[in-house]
Structures are given as structure tokens and as C-alpha cells.
Amino acid sequence: MVATMNLSLPDTMIAWIDECSRSGQYSDGSEYVRELIRRDQERTAKITRMQALIDEAGARREGRRSMQDLEAEALARLAAPQ
């Protein structure tokens, strides 16, 4: 199902969206906004996964590994296919 939403944006943002459409990057403003939302959803999912890894590491209380090791493991898990 597709719903309609009206947004109020400053002229500069409307001009930006129009330029993206004219340049062929996006077919119209709606496609541009949908892409922004998809990217934000992906970013939020990554942050949530990263926080879960941090929480998991904290729950294990494994103080033997350095922050660099924890970060490397977390980044490797994020890069792995789901």
C-alpha cells in the first residue's frame, strides 16, 4: 500500500531535490525522499547492531580484550552478510 504525505520544505531544499531529479539521479522528488529514508533505515539498523555488540561485550565483562580488538570484531561482524 502506498500512502501520500505532504512535506513543508524550504525553497533551497526543494531546489536541491528538483536539481537531483533534473540531473537524472532520481526520477522525481518522491524517489529522492524514499532513498533518503532507506539510507536512514540502513544506518539506524547498523547503529542498533553495533550497540547490541557493545552491550553483549559489556555483559560478558571480558576486560582482557583491548578496545581496538572489540572495535575490529564489531566492524567485521557489521561487514559480514546477514
59, 70 contact by CB (below 8 A) = no
The percentage of the chain sitting over the pLDDT mark of 70, rounded to a whole number, equals 96
Cell numbers that stand for 3 in this block: 500512502
Residue 47 belongs to some domain of the structure: yes
pTM of the model: 0.65
Look up the domain containing 74 and give its range: 40-58+65-82
For residue 63, give the DSSP letter: T
Residue 53 lies in a domain: yes
Dihedral of CA atoms 22, 27, 30, 33 in degrees, nearest 10, equals -80
Q: How many domains does the chain divide into?
A: 1
The distance from CA 63 to its chain's CA centroid, rounded to whole angstroms, is: 30
In a domain, 78, yes or no: yes
Confirm whether 24 is domain-assigned: no
Query: How much is the pLDDT for 2?
Result: 86
Question: pLDDT tens digit string along 23-42?
Answer: 999 999 999 999 999 999 99
